[in-house]
Structure 1
Amino acid sequence: MVLFLTTLIQGLARYSAKLSLQTVLVVPFVLQIFTAVGLTGYLSFRNGQEAVNNIAAQLLSEISLRVEQNLQTFLETPHLINQSNADDINLGALDVENFAALEKHFFNQSKIFKKVSLIGFANNNQEFISTEKLDDGSLTIRTSGKSTNYNLRTYTTNNQGKRITIKDFGKPYDTRRRNWYNKPIQTKAPVWSEVYPHNSGIALYIAASQPVYNQEGNLKGVLLSNLNLQKIGDFLEQLKIGKTGISFIIERPSGTLVATSTNEKPFRVNSAVAKLPENKIQSFLATSSNDLKTQATAKYLETQLGNLGSIKSQQQLEFKVKGKRQFIQVLPFQDNKGIDWLIVVVVPENDFMEKINANTRTSIILCVIALMVATGFGIVVVRWITEPVIALKKSATALAKGEWEKTLEINRSDELGELAKSFNSMANQVQTTLKALSENESRLQQFLEAVPVGISIHDTTGQIYYANRTAKQFLGIGVLPKAKSEELTAVYQIYQADENQLYPTLQLPIVRSLAGETIEVDDIELHQANKIIPIKVFSTPIFDENGKIVYAIAAFIDITERKQAEAILANYNQILQRQVTERTLDLEREISERKQVEETLREQKEILQTIFDRIPVMICFSNHKNEIQFVNPEYERVMGWKNEELKNVNIEYLLAECLCSSKERALAQEHMLAEEEKWLDLNIKIRDGSYLDTSWIKIQLTNGAIIGIGQDITNRKLAENLSILEERNRMAREIHDTLMQTFTGISIHLGGALQVISVDGKAAQEHITLARELSRTGLAEARASVQGLRSQSDSERVSPFLANNNLCNAFNQIVTQSSTFTDSHINYQVQGIPYLLPLEVENQLLRIGQEALSNAVKHAKANVIQIELAYEKTQCVLWVKDNGQGFAIDCMNFGNSFGILGMRERSTRIGAELTINSKPGQGTNVMVSYKRCII
């Protein structure tokens, strides 16, 4: 023991020798106080943690119970609605065949039950009716069946539940393929469906389904009440779980996230392109949640408990997230209809530790205060002991920094006083010596700065230790960069003379001098941003007293003027000889060019004469007196006068001969006097007395002469008349395809409204609403047609059905629209794999199909209309067949039938083959075949 204490004391003595006197005196005293206070605070903290565990257990149990009770009520409501509706159906209060009554009943229920998102019914005929509550609280009607061509159509409603407008025409919808429809039929009891995405792709639903049977046990259909999982999350979000606690629900055994209080949606959007909106989203595992706390908790449960289905009762657990303890309450939630969920509540320990942490902070503050007081007291005592030593240390430090004016003042007569006097004497001597050295250094630096030669001093690594002002100007720098030998050429842009290459590092004069050489070179260039400076360098090493190289000094001057003089002298004779040779070649070139110009002029004269004689326009040249000098052969051919006959004839006389109308003569004279060069159309009389349509332009030369250029425009006039006729035909087809077909539909709906207005006001209102929609469509097409006419385009206006669709979808929309104003059954089929056709072809095929469908409804009085669109490899074929009254092809006057005439013109326009087969009483078959151009 004695040996141990001896060793410890020796070790402390050695360690304390390295510490300051103040530290050795103060630290032991401070440590005693700090240890006592810290131990008290630690024991208080531990007692607080035990209290936190008890409070956390109580809070978690209370919150879990509240979630369970509210969730029980929330999930019972949809099944109570279904059971109520099933009782009404069994008692006869609700008729499942009367969809209008079901629609009104569901609408009233949706207004009462705020938390249920959808209430509906589906039968085994693929018919479906429901009311759905949107996020903004408004109610919509969603239905599919024969009337909607089995597409899920959505209607907006007013406060009374009346349908207003079609919000979405929808996609094909077969309830028999849905889990919520099949599952209750299989179990023959009320059940919960699987979680599935809403048709719009904006939410996840879970459906409470119940089958309905008649007295014979036959299935009538399935009742449906849907819950939006986000509503459960909204409830969880309203709970106050400590300060930062969360609660979430996961499905067993999959671990899929059902709802959470973190405002995170229980689904994610797929990045891949989806055919249907409902395929855009999908649920995800809680272990992949974006919320760190949810994800960590789910992973812990999965790791700690293994199979989530093994949890049979309430459990309390704890784990750490980023080193912070979390309390967990896990509560199974099940019912007899298929729900098997886990309710998880997570509360961080920090939510309960606020007061305990406050006490801990108070203890720390008290420890710090005690430490500060003890330290202050110790410093006062130690300062009284060590003040003379510290003063001596400060004076020595100031002396080392060059602060000579600070002297040591210790008014003592002991050893420290004598030491202070000796220290002040030594400081004065050192100050005098350093001042002399500084003055010598300043004079040397002034000498170096004044020298008109660049001087640089480099240390043994090649880095510049000093450079005078001239050197910095040469190098183009203000502040010396830290560049060693291997970096000098790149940093200072040192190149070999007359070569675009950096100077070799090992050949640099300063590098060679650092190796012991004294060298002089003049093959170096300094490249700056806008100039190149050739320099001559002299370099030599500098040795210390032991003969070791410690520096190398380089001196360099600008030799630009010398290089220029050498280059001028070397190239003078070559320049003189080259100039003589170039002048001789210039003379020869001028002679050759003069001959080439003469030859070019002769060739151009021949070309111009050939053009003048053969150009297919009339040319008449007159001098400044308006006397005709000559005309070209084309003028002679068209007008009938020869060149010799018109020589020196005044052009005004010729105008009086050719223009019988005084108005046209005035126009011609005004055209000749105008400065602007433009064409003027004139109907003139030629020599044989006939009249000809011509167009003339006048070109005024600077000497007053006039060149008159004219052309025969008879063929152009004929083409313009044909173009006007073609435009009239196109306008007729546009009016027939848009307004006439729209007015036909409006007329049918208004007639239907008149027939039922006295007995069924609702049906009459539906006819009038559809007639209004058709009138809006017709008005839009009429405006588009007018816009097309204003654009002066040769191509016909593209049908609005093709604006954002392909040909298949455009026909589908037309069939859907036509089905609303006719009792005829319209079937539409597409054969083969659709491919794109030219837009003009698709537009004409769609117009022909519209016309054939309109004729079958309006004239043929058909009960069944079949439309087939076949995409074959070499051709695209359109059939429109009906079982109407038909007509005799041989007796048909196609000139009076605008529809059939328009179909023929359209098929001819795109090069398609149109075939019409019909007999009285046997219906009509219209076929259009368009041959593809396969490359």
Structure 2
Amino acid sequence: MFNKISYLQYFLSLPVKPSLRTVLIIPFILQILAVASLTGYLSFKNGQKAVNNIATRLLSEISQRVQQNLHTFLETPQQINQNNANAIKLGQLDVQDLTVLEHYFFDQLEVFNQVSLIGFANTNKEFISAEIFPDGSLTIRASGKSTKYNLRTYTTNKQSTRTGIKDFGKPYDTQRRNWYNKAIAKQRPVWSEIYPHNSGIALYIAASQPAYDKQGNLQGVLLSNLNLSKIGTFLQNLKIGKTGISFIVERHSGRLVATSTNEKPFHSNNFKTQLAENRIKPFLAIDSKDKKTQCTSKYLKSKFNEFKSINSSQQLYFSIDGKRQFIRVLPFQDNRGLDWLIVVVVPENDFMEEINANTRTTIVLCIVALIVAVAVGVLILRWIAEPVLALKKSALALAQGEWEKRIKIERSDELGELARSFNNMADQLQAKFSEMQDLNKALLQSETRLKQFLDAVPVAISINDPYGEIYYNNRAVQKLISVDLLPSIKPEKIAEYYQIYLAETDYLYPTDELPIMYSLVGKTVHIDNMEFRHPNKTIPIEVLSTPIFDESGKVIYALTVCIDITERKKAEKILADYNSVLEQQVTQRTLELQREIAERKQAEVALLESETRFRLLAEATFEAIAITEQGILLDTNQTCAEMFGYELSELLGMRVMDFTAPEYREQVMQKIRSGDEGIYETVCLRKDGSTFPAEIRARVMSYRGRTIRMAAIQDITSRKQAEEATVLAERNRLAQEIHDTLAQAFTVVIVHLDTASRKLTTDIEVAQKLIKAGRDLAHSGLTEARRSIKALRSQLLEDGNIFNALNRFATQMFSPSNTHIVCQLIGEIYPLSPDVENNLLRIGQEALTNAFKYAQAGEIQIELAYQESQCSLRIKDDGQGFDIASVSVINSFGLLVMSERAECIGAKLTIQSSPGQGTEVSVLVYRE
């Protein structure tokens, strides 16, 4: 009705007065046209808005799915490297044995089949890896001394056994590779640059990580490679609208990494070449042959200048051939060097087809409704027009003070009733007009005094009429809200216009909870959770709102009082913060005490179990176990008591010197004072005064803040007796052999030569015969000497070859211990000269004896390799090792003997060792 009156006033204000029919019909038609047009427009806009919302959520969901799956996919090779690095650091994985690594990586590759390659490069430029080729074949790739540092590829079966050579390869220096140098330089896990696989049909990216031992020494670099085509396969499986695509680019270079289209992220050259990096080349996303990928990349580059300028998630729109496209760009980065962009593109037409059809149908229906409404409206308005014009004339006359003018309409409908009421109203108005003039003067004076009183009050007071419109505000209100007061504003706009918020939130105060809304329905409300927000400050307020009723109990006004409580809120916040901090401190300390109590109980249980297991093991062993502190015996086992002839209760508290022969006490005390660990021999003293040779294996450790020494004592009387008997028997045999061969032969030669010297002057012919006989005897003696030397060869060699001899010797020596012996034969055995075989055997025996006596090894590896031009023997243990630089060959008899034997047969002897890293002895003999 308000709009119709406004239109009417507009038309009445025109210079040329239109007819009433025109005044009523034209606004009516315009309103219907406006409603129809607005309905169609809103239908289209709401559909478009819905599409935008759906597209935004879809693109966001797809990009997040790509990001999550990509993160999981790329985390796998890094996790493999970390697990392998931990195994190397803990000593669980021997990086020196490339054969073990080869099988280990092959087994890992079967578990993590999304990874294309798992390998390791040591500091000696050796490289070993297991790989699933892009064609799906299982291979082993190796580079080192055996391949002359060429990267050779071997075919395998499912049991990781090499079945042949797939590619003899080319020179390969790991220390020139980006993935090797970058990992060592960063000293942490990194990603390499994207590079082409040497098959020329795929792009790879490498995850590498440096590997260290327990002492922090660099062992090499671990490697896990990914085939980027697997990322493209994942993108192709995503449902992105009907024709949408997704692709990934490098942010710093703009090169295409993967795409959901059938396009490969590299170009193949038309000519053949030996180098993989020349056979295929990655390309920029803007050079893609796929039109959507190319146009999207060009748009992003033109908008942001460079891809590397995109630092946050972006929701964009652009057109291809006049068709609107939705774009979602999401940066993907990690702390290992990856810096990619995930791009999702969906055409608007994938969503708008049905909405456009519905919009066209809505427009047609609106036009039909408009025509029908106009026809009906014209007929109805024509019937209404005449009495309305009469009312108009009367109203104009009344407005000019012509009270005697009356309306004459003889109708029984609403217009007739309106005419009669209008006449009655005119009569009453005329009578009341004079009264109102007097009352208005008195009321004006009263309102003036009331406004003065309210303006003097320091709190904000606002009065609203029953429709929510402002009736009165005092001066304090303007100061509180700091914006222009609007006399008429819709309730749902009050909070937004005056910036009224829920306290300590970013939410506008709910309209239905505003105090004025309660007061307008007759309720009194008191709140303190409201804030006025200004650009430079926020004012918390306390509000009291109450209704004002008339005589009939109807609400005629709503009175609202607002009080600034800024200072009170500050005091409450200080108190709340103090209580919160105090509560957190109490809670944290309580949790710490509970955790300490639980940890202490677990430690006590573990300690009790550990002591019980130790006691059982100590009693079950055949060796004497002694635990001492500063030379005083703290604990022992029953075997120790029986070995020294004491009761178990007598031993506790005795000194170590009481069990040591006098001449060895200084040596033992020196080892105790210096904290020496290891194996040494001494002579022990029993209770009855008798002595016996013993082998001591000592270890120093910390126990509950105390330094204690644990020693395992073994009676080696039988071993010493057997060694002495063996030496004596060998000496007797050598003496007999020399006597029976060389001594007898040389005696006869000397007799013949003496006789010949006497006959030179008397009988030259006899002298010559004697000299000839002596020479023949010398030859015969030489033959016998050689036969004797041959007879002196080790009995081990008589029963077989060097490999079997060393295997038997090691098995006999280490069978009483827990040391694991690994013997490996490489190539086919061919005969060597007896002298070479004997010296190789003696060198091997000396190395094994040293490992048995000093190394305390858990595993010993014996490798004998027969190659075409050379033969090599390698003996390696994982024992305690020694500092090779601090040991002189001249002062160490065992090392001196091995060096002399190697020099005797023209062999190359190499000894490598370091504390805690074991010892390796290798001998290389060139075949004659």
Shorter-chain TM-score above 0.5: no
TM-score of the aligned structures, taking structure 1 as reference length = 0.36
